[in-house]
Structure 1
Amino acid sequence: MTGTATSTGTAASGAGTAAAHRDAAELAGFGYRQELHRSMGRYASFAAGFSFISVLTTVFQFFAFGFSFGGAAFFWTWPAVLLGQLLVAACFAELAARYPLSGAIYQWSTRLSNPSFGWFAGWIMVIGQIVVVAAAALALQVVLPAIWSGFQLVGGDPAPTSASGAANAGLLAVVLLALTTVVNLLDNRVMSAVNRIGVTAEIIGAALIVVLLLTHTERGPGVTFHTGGQGGAIGALLVGSFTAAYVLIGFDSAGELSEETRSPRRTAPRTILLALASAGVLGGLLLLGGVLAAPSLTDGRLATEGLSYVLTSTLGDGPGRLLLADVAVAIAVATLAIQTSGSRMLFSMARDGVLPAAAPLAKVSARTGMPTGPALVVGTGAAALCLLNLASPEAFLAIGTTCIAMLYLAYLMVTGPMLLRRIRGTYGTGTGLDETGRPLFSLGRWGLPVNALACLYGAVMTVNLAWPRAAVYDPAGGHWYFQWFTLLFLTVTTGAGAAWLAVRARRTTKGEALR
């Protein structure tokens, strides 16, 4: 028995070593060394995408906003956005099978277009990810004070739209970012374990909340055909869609962590789609349950306190606060996952030497397998953005919508060149094999129509999100810069990127002249 067990263990170890060598050899084919530790399996890859999406974090964070503008009818924006994002995810799944590399958006866009265009896609994406980390950390304000008033460290009004609530959100977010940065510096096995445990707790918690809400309904589903918000049916579709648009992003994280995933050509495409589909179903049910179980749709509390109000009012303080604690865990894990994803994007660009301070940003700890410099940059940058909340409550919404618009634009900078290649007939047939010897994930003859619809959807949503609506971004008036915050931030981001490329080109020219 002992001999048999030993031989079995030896065989398994040998197979694992052979797989590791195979994955490292495939990475070398792209010109990169295996520096990150490849220890993530299928569930860890799924958890990376699901925790970035984090339905509990984002639905609780933006439910009140969507309802305040669209009323109960804003629920229908969810399936519309989910369908659009599934089109994008299908395109990304194809690319994840072909190019299993860290810094997925940057790598994919570069290979589909040219280095300069790909650089801008990566630059916009990584800045957007830093903003998303900040927005996710700010979500703690939506749940912690509702669990215990002692978490309200500043002032007495916990609403994120109030001055004291916004300031408190900034402080809680900075504390959380300090913790997630520490985890991102430890070891990728620790990070992955925290992520898996957190995602499991989030899925169980979300399913339980859905069941409890749907068994405590106050009205029928027909109410979702009535807007009752600020903008009528059109407002529900355009502004109310911000909730779904914010939630259903980040599914590409499974691709971002490809160099840490075993058999990534087979694993990443499937976990990208599975993470988005499962989050889409759970999130849609959460929205529906919240609308149907709310004690009132007209007393104004649902439009300001969101799902936290529904849980504590419908289920009672005890069960409601217990479930909110699970939401707080989901927020922490989501912040960790998004910070990890942004760190990998920075690392991927830095090792190509296309960023300032590229050498320290590209350094990977041999002991932990983690790029420490990028984790510190993403954590520090997000914390600085969170402190904007100390200046004005409007910063909360400005930060949230800016990051969505930036990620949508970065996604479009992948699907756009991909569509051009398909039209020109230079995209390729995708006849390669994955690690198991099976054909790579491919859309086949559906590739062109799916890609075209993904581009159209991405372009429309990017414009919708960036449109400077005063009623959305500066409802109190007097802060024109918040109304135009998204466009201003995008302009500054692209301007800074263009300036760096010009400086880098000048240095390259001088270096070549000296030779």
Structure 2
Amino acid sequence: MEEIVTRIEIGENVERRAYKQELHRSLGLWENISLVVSAVTPATGAFIIAPVLFTLTGTGAPLTFVIAAAMGLALAFCWAELGCAYPIAGGDYTFVARILGRPAGFVSLILSGPVQAVLIPAVVALGIGQYVGVIFNVNTNILAAVIILLGAAVAIWGVRLSAIAVGALLAIELLAVVFVGALGLFHVQRPISTLFQPLITNPDGTTQTLTIGALVAGIAVASFAYNGFQGALLYSEETTGSRRNVARSVFIALGVAVACEVLPVAMAILASPSLADLSASPNAWQYFLTSIGGDTFNTIISLGIAIAVLNAVVALMPFFARILYSSGRDMAWPAPMSKALASVHPRWGTPWVSTIVVGVAGAVLVLFTDVATLSTCVGAVLCVEFILVAASAIVSRLKDKTTDRPYRMPLWPAAPIVAIVMSVVVLTQQTSSDLLVAGGIVVISLAYYLVYLRPRRRTHMLMLDPVRPIEALTQRRHRPNADVND
């Protein structure tokens, strides 16, 4: 993936346009992985999303994470294959539009781009206030806004700088997760069978068996905790080496996320002095840390957790900025807006306007909301996006027999079918308000496409040829009957 050509010629004077190389190709495999793992942010799943699950599913939180991991693995096969076949910075919508059609592609763009770009960094940034507050009094919402703007500034300076910064902070993040998990392991008070007999604590202190419906509803929140491992696709135009590196990054990031989120959450269930207090506490982890190690211990670990969550915000800024950058490059918006979003900084080679948009929008949102509200809403949105991704993995094989696929998932179409079924089941258990939000986004997206983009389909929502390494293009140019889209 050293270079990208803007025009290629195949066969007899057949010319196709391809994306121009503007983003700096400076990431190695492990730098890509560090950005992706940090965007998944195991610390956010364990320390911010898990307390929401403690409330929703009680001692079933670890089991919920495991089931969500199974759905994540099914989706990982889809993302790995499609990401290698369509190595474009925009991520999901770039292949959904090419496979399922532009209307579906635009819905995917809105779900994975503007919606998540604002909601997800907001959830992460708001969570940090819970742990900084242990050290000194702070307005959580204002602190979250400052953190988001700081993350945007780092992202503008360069993707490699972002990778170096998050790589350093990632070490602290993983240490915090592993340390808390180990702490619980040395203070286990309950048998492991507790994890497979989930109970939920009622407001009056009584307990009851967790219902299947509540468990399934919690899967959407747990899936949110893993979301981001597909981020390798977004850096495909900036990563050197084989396109199979995209697939490698996807699977490694998911594996790290699962290990770092299931272990500490399970240990908290097994080691907490009181499960009722753990579920009822305003901050479950502060209760756990204080009850085992005391206030000083809680302060030290909370500082480490705060640094870990800061790392996630820094990683998420370039993650989502590349979706907006790609949407501008594809002319998904009115021309002035698209041109601005597609702007690349002449010195740092980063989509600086898109990064500023993500940062400012997130900073404004966090001033008026809270973690729990955003977490459940994001879960419903993600399930809709998962269905589009899995459907693309099925239709792509049926519709396009010629596209080069450096990675092919095993046992196709088992993985995408499992992902679709699980996503639909999870959606049926979401609250009406969250479903209304997700449905409203889909309807508004389709309306925009039909009213604005469809009449301008020759000049807007352009879908150019996927990025290809120059040596691969040379080989295909001389191959008999090569397909121009290959």
Provide Cα deviations, 1:2-42, integer angstroms capped at 9, x if missing partner. xxxxxxxxxxxxxxxxx623xx2499787111111111111
5 Å matches for 1:278-357?
A: 278-299=256-277, 303-356=281-334, 357=337
Q: Is the 8 A contact 1:74 1:241 kept in 2?
A: no
Please identify, of 364-373 and 291-300, the stretch whose mean Cα deviation from structure 2 is larger. Answer: 291-300
Given the superposition, is the C-alpha separation of residues 96 and 30 from structure 1 closer, same or farther in structure 2, using an over 3 Å criterion? farther
Contact 1:311-1:320 at 8 Å conserved across structures = yes
Q: Is the 8 A contact 1:52 1:253 kept in 2?
A: yes
Partner of 2:468: none
How far 1:83 sits from its partner (Å)? 0.7
SS at match of 2:249: helix
Q: 1:46 aligns with which of 33, 39, 42?
A: 33
Deviations 1:356-378 (A, max 9, x none): 30001101012101111111111
Q: In structure 2, do the counterparts of structure 1 residues 189 and 299 end up closer, same or farther at CA, with 3 Å as the change threshold?
A: closer
Paired residue for 1:453, among 409, 418, 421? 418
Q: Tell me if 1:173 matches 2:126.
A: no
Is the contact made by 2:87 and 2:243 (CA closer than 8 Å) also made in structure 1?
Answer: yes
**1:76 maps to what in 2?**
63
1:428 counterpart (401, 411, 427)? 401
Report the AA paired with residue 346 of structure 2: A
Give percent identity, aligned residues only.
24
- Distance in 1 of aligned mates of 2:346 and 2:31: 21
2:408 equivalent in structure 1: 442
CA–CA distance in structure 2, aligned partners of residues 508 and 109 of structure 1: 16
CA contact (8 A) 1:130 1:339 kept: no
1:228 partner SS:
strand
**Structure 2 residue 346 is matched with structure 1 residue 366:** yes
CA distance in structure 1 between the partners assigned to 2:233 and 2:119 by the alignment: 20
Give the one of 355, 366, 373 matched to 1:398. 373
- Rate the CA distance shift 1:362–1:226 in 2: closer, same or farther, 3 A: closer
Opposite residue 149 of structure 2, the aligned amino acid is A
Pick from 205, 229, 249 the counterpart of residue 201 of structure 2.
229
Q: Do the aligned residues in 1 keep the contact of 2:272 with 2:278 (CA within 8 Å)?
A: no
1:109, 1:121 within 8 Å by CA — same for their partners in 2? yes
Matched, 1:193 2:164: yes
Structure 1 unaligned segments of length 5 or more: list them: 1-18, 154-167, 390-394, 433-439, 469-483
Instruction: Kindly provide the CA deviation profile for residues 204-235 of structure 1, in whole angstroms up to 9, marking residues without a partner as x.
Output: 22122211221122222222214133573225
Q: How does 1:61-72 map to 2 (within 5 A)?
A: 61-72=48-59
- Which gives a bigger RCO, structure 1 or 2 (Cα 8 Å, sep 6+)? 2
1:464 maps to: 429
Unaligned runs of 5+ in 2: 9-15, 203-207, 461-486
Shift of 1:265: 0.6
The counterpart of 2:132, out of the listed 141, 144, 151, is 144
Moved more, 407-416 or 244-253: 407-416
Is residue 60 of structure 1 aligned with residue 47 of structure 2? yes
SS in 1 for 2:413: helix
What's the offset of the Cα at 1:258?
0.8
**Structure 1 27/170 Cα, relative in aligned 2: closer, same or farther at 3 Å?**
farther
**In structure 2, the residue corresponding to 1:368 is in which secondary structure?**
coil
What are the Cα deviations for residues 141-180 of structure 1, in whole angstroms up to 9, with x where unaligned? 221112x1x2x33xxxxxxxxxxxxxx3322211111211
1:232-259 Cα shifts (integer Å, max 9, x gaps)? 3225512443442221111111111111
- Counterpart pick for 1:215 among 176, 186, 204: 186
Between the aligned partners of 2:80 and 2:6, the Cα distance in structure 1 is: 18
* Length, aligned pairs only: 443
C-alpha separation between the residues in 2 aligned to 1:489 and 1:39? 36
Letter in 2 for 1:464: Q
Q: What is the aligned partner in structure 2 of residue 163 from structure 1?
A: none
Deviation at 1:409, TM superposition (A): 1.5
Aligned to 1:20: 2
Q: Deviations over 1:289-341 (max 9, x none)?
A: 11112121123665432122212321233333222222112211211222211
C-alpha distance in structure 1 between counterparts of 2:263 and 2:278, whole Å? 22
Structure 2 CA distance for aligned equivalents of residues 282 and 292 of structure 1: 16
Higher mean C-alpha displacement, 66-75 vs 262-271 = 66-75
In 2, the alpha carbon distance for the partners of 1:227 and 1:497 equals 42
Contact residue 67 and residue 303 of structure 1 kept, 8 A: no
What letter matches 1:110 in structure 2? A
What is the match of residue 131 of structure 1?
Answer: 119
**TM-score with structure 2 setting the length:** 0.84
1:96 aligned to 2:83? yes
Question: Any idea what SS the aligned residue of 1:260 has?
Answer: coil
Aligned-pair distance for 1:381?
1.4
Residue of structure 1 in register with 2:358 after alignment: 378
1:495 to 444, 455, 463: 444
Q: Which of residues 271, 275, 287 is equivalent to 2:249?
A: 271
Deviates more, 1:83-92 or 1:58-67: 58-67
Task: State the one-letter code of the partner of 1:144.
Answer: V
Q: State the distance in 2 between where 1:119 and 1:212 align.
A: 46
Residues 333 and 373 from structure 1, CA distance in 2 versus in 1: closer, same or farther, beyond 3 angstroms? same
Question: d(CA) in 1 for partners of 2:439 and 2:315?
Answer: 24
Where does residue 157 of structure 1 map in the other structure?
A: none
| Pair 1:56–1:108, CA change in 2 (3 A) | same
